[in-house]
Amino acid sequence: MTLNKTMKLLLAGVAVTLSTSAAMAQTNLRVFVSSQHRPDVWRKAFDMYEAKNPNVKVTIETGGNTSEAQAQYLNTVMTAKDSSLDVMILDVIRPAQYAAAGWTVPFNDVLGDANAAMKRYLPAYAEANTVDGKVVALPAFADAMFLYYRKDLLEKHGVQPPQTWDELAAAAKKVTAAEKDANLQGLSFQGKAIEGAVCTFLLPYWSMGKQLVSDGKLSFDKDAAVKSLKLWKDFVDQGVAKKNIAEVATDDTRKEFQAGNVLFAVNWSYAWGQFQGGESAVKDKVGVVKLPAVQGGQPASCLGGWEWGVSAYSNNKTEAQKLVQYLSSPETSEFMAINASLLPQFPDVYTDQDVTKAVPWFASARPVVETAKARPVTPRYNEVSDIIRTTVNAVLAGQSTPEEGATQMEGRLRRVLR
Amino acid sequence: MATASETTLVRAHNESATKWWTRFLDPSERTLAVLLLLPTALLLSLIIVYPVCRLVWTSFQNLSLTSGAPATFAGIENYALMLEDPVFWETTWNTVLITLITVPGALLVGMALALMANLPFKRKWPVRLSLLIPWALPLAFAGLIFAWFFHSEYGVVNDVLRRLGFEGVIWFNSAKWAFAAICLTIIWKTSSFMALIILAGLQTIPRSLYEAAEVDGAGRLRQFFEITLPLLKPSIVVALIFRTITALQTFDIPFTMTRGGPGTSTATLAMYIHQNTVDFLDLGYGSALAVVMFALSMGVTAVYLRMIRAKG
């Protein structure tokens, strides 16, 4: 073999190795999924993506059981400029904050006409994910709060699902008195100092037609705040809600209702899938309607939902954005609605035949989501949230009166939203 | 100790050296000391002095990641804000209260444990091991375990209370009971550390002192107050310094047990610092709070050090 030939062979060998390694090049994407939103079902959605994109491998990371615990973790990762996470799911209140901190990559370049792309979603989600014209995240699923009730018990005692909170109290008293079951709670809601307690406070407050923030300025209505805090505290004092409601987080409400110990429960849409699951004691005994209103007010729900953001510190931003576009597509939305009862972020999916077959009440859920109110959008939202939820918690624990609570809340909110 | 003539000799030798590098081959004691301390001094300044200076500097800045704006010099604004922040005062007071309750509490329980462990057992290891376990347990674990103990429905504490005929307490629904639960947990967790240090101190006290006291007719109690306690003082002071500083920094146990609730009634200063930096991303204000906590710890350490020096 001549030297020339050897060189040629060697070069050919190198070329072959290089080209095969390029074809084999795998992108590993690490995705943070909130543990309360069915990471097991998201896994199936990722599997379908992997099947179509063999060069991408998706790993799920999950943790924390509340929105704040997850935000705390993600805040730590992002302040450390850690590149280990590529995609993360964010509670609807956070994209604005993450964009302000420069932690997410905008989608404008990959969306083409960003405006048209965002118009496909429910308007509330197009708005929540757009900051100063930049699309900072894409909607993962929609959510709103609903009133779940025990269909079997209401029928047994001839009670209609309540339209107002007063009716709810009366119905709960009637049914629990007749059932004589010490473990049966009339109403379960979120009293622990978690994100859900912010909505707890806002539900009756909004129902009275009041806003917390108008035109970026605090528009706190103290009377309405006192009434709202008092409404919840009265439920505890009257025995409609249990005494230690100040210890109850969102998933506690879900678990206790699922175990058959709750008549009425305020919760998000995700609970439905688990109430109807194999481990549920209340399967097929559950009804769901829009939340009651205060006497003389309009019913109000809290806008929830989660969004997919791509980390600004990711080493695979292009692949990560492609994955998020798939996750935020009508097809994935339909899949998640059917398999995890997560509310669609697209208006049309609500009336899709397969969806209405799997989750019949979604058709009536759409108007609730469409009229649900968004919590104030501000980069300092975490402080606003902390003020509201610690006050709700303190009032429910009997630590301060509704009046004291409202005064403290106003004073502290004024410091943050100047 | 070098004698006077040796020192003169070394100095004379050094002065006679003409080349500078020979100093390294045969350094004077002072150069040697500097050389030997240099790596430690560098390391300490890197991991302690620099971060502390940086912290103090950040505390004078307007640095909030949620504003999206770059940091600007704010003077004493963060400190002025603190003075009128009710949550700052509440969390600081809670921290002081936890220190005032749990430090003496852990000292008393730790002393009792140490005295018991010092009894002439046939097998020493089971006693020592049970002393070590609470100390070896991570703080967050202890917090989570006790949160379950004190749970109003599923907790073992309420179960025992009910069996004894009392009504169960909703521990985390009231500031007072939640505070009591936290203090009990901290005392349980930290008294074994106190006991370990005191036990070490106990074992340095010669038996002959007790034998002599017995011959002189001193009772057990008298022996404790006249021999044990005075000779234990140095160990107690050391244990108190460590315990007080960690008490001022209390974070894990209230964080895992109550998250500061109900309301903010059991939140500590360390938790408030964490909240401002990690949750609110207000690094300027968080740093100012941290500077205050640093000053508090330094103040307490200075007092204890003075106590030791006065005794010494």
Please report the DSSP string for A128-158 in residue order. Answer: HTEETTEE--EEEEB-BEEEEEEHHHHHHTT
Nearby residues of A109 by Cβ (< 8 Å), 6 or more positions away: none
Contacts of B262 in chain A (CB under 8 A): 193, 246, 393-394, 396-397, 399
Contact A79 B175 (CB under 8 A): no
Return the structure tokens found at B14. 């050094």
3-class DSSP state of A70:
helix
Phi, psi of B72 (to 5 degrees): -130, 155
Q: What pLDDT does residue B237 have?
A: 86
Which of A136, A399, A416 is the best substitution to test chain B (most B C-beta atoms within 10 A)?
Answer: A399
Gap between the Cα atoms of A71 and B277, Å rounded: 13
Q: Which residue has the tokens 């009041």?
A: A210
Check: CB of residue A145 under 8 Å from CB of residue A107. Answer: no
Gap between the Cα atoms of A241 and A225, Å rounded: 20
Check: CB of residue B47 under 8 Å from CB of residue B282. Answer: no
Gap between the Cα atoms of A251 and B256, Å rounded: 18
Contacts of A393 in chain B (CB under 8 A): 261-263
Gap between the Cα atoms of B53 and B67, Å rounded: 24
Nearby residues of A17 by Cβ (< 8 Å), 6 or more positions away: none
Check: CB of residue A328 under 8 Å from CB of residue A345. Answer: yes
Q: Which of B68, B86, B175 sits opposite A399 (nearest CB)?
A: B175
Domains in chain A: boundaries: 26-143+304-371, 145-302+377-416
**Closest chain B residue by Cα to residue A102:** B68
Which of B280, B285, B287 is the best substitution to test chain A (most A C-beta atoms within 10 A)?
Answer: B280
Contact B279 A75 (CB under 8 A): yes
Contact A247 B259 (CB under 8 A): no
B69 touches chain A (CB under 8 A): no
Domains in chain B: boundaries: 86-311
Q: What pLDDT does residue B153 have?
A: 82
CA nearest neighbour of A192 among B70, B263, B257, B101:
B263
Amino acid A402 reads P
pLDDT per residue as tens digits for the range A224-264: 999 999 999 999 999 999 998 998 999 899 999 999 999 99
Min distance A138 CA to chain B CA atoms (Å): 20
Superfamily of domain A26-143+304-371: Periplasmic binding protein-like II (3.40.190.10)
Contact A100 B170 (CB under 8 A): no
pLDDT per residue as tens digits for the range A344-393: 999 999 999 999 999 888 888 898 899 899 898 787 888 999 999 999 99
Gap between the Cα atoms of B15 and B9, Å rounded: 10
Residues belonging to chain A with any Cβ–Cβ distance to chain B shorter than 8 Å: 68, 71-72, 75-76, 79, 97, 100-102, 192-193, 243-244, 246-247, 379-380, 382-383, 386, 390-391, 393-394, 396-400, 408, 411-412, 415
B174 touches chain A (CB under 8 A): yes
Interface A-B: count of C-beta contacts within 8 A = 93
Q: How far is CA A361 from CA A273, A337, A338, in A?
A: 12, 11, 12
Which overall architecture, per CATH, does domain B86-311 show?
Answer: Orthogonal Bundle (1.10)
The DSSP call for residue A213 is E
Q: Percent of chain B, pLDDT > 90?
A: 53
CA nearest neighbour of B170 among A186, A399, A208:
A399
Superfamily of domain A145-302+377-416: Periplasmic binding protein-like II (3.40.190.10)
Q: How far is CA A349 from CA A270, A346, A359, A366, in A?
A: 16, 6, 12, 10
Q: Which of B65, B263, B280 sits opposite A400 (nearest CB)?
A: B263
Q: What is the ipTM of this complex?
A: 0.76
Residues in B 89-108 with any Cβ partner in A closer than 8 A: none
B261 touches chain A (CB under 8 A): yes
Averages of pLDDT over each 10 residues, chain A, 418 residues: 60 54 75 92 96 95 88 91 96 90 94 92 91 93 95 95 96 95 95 94 96 87 96 96 92 94 94 87 93 93 95 96 96 94 94 92 88 85 93 94 95 86
3-class DSSP state of A391:
helix
Alpha carbons within 13 A on the beta-carbon side of A150? 29
Q: How big is chain A by its Cα radius of gyration, in Å?
A: 24
Check: CB of residue A246 under 8 Å from CB of residue A396. Answer: yes
pLDDT at B188 over 80: yes
How many residues would you count in chain B? 312
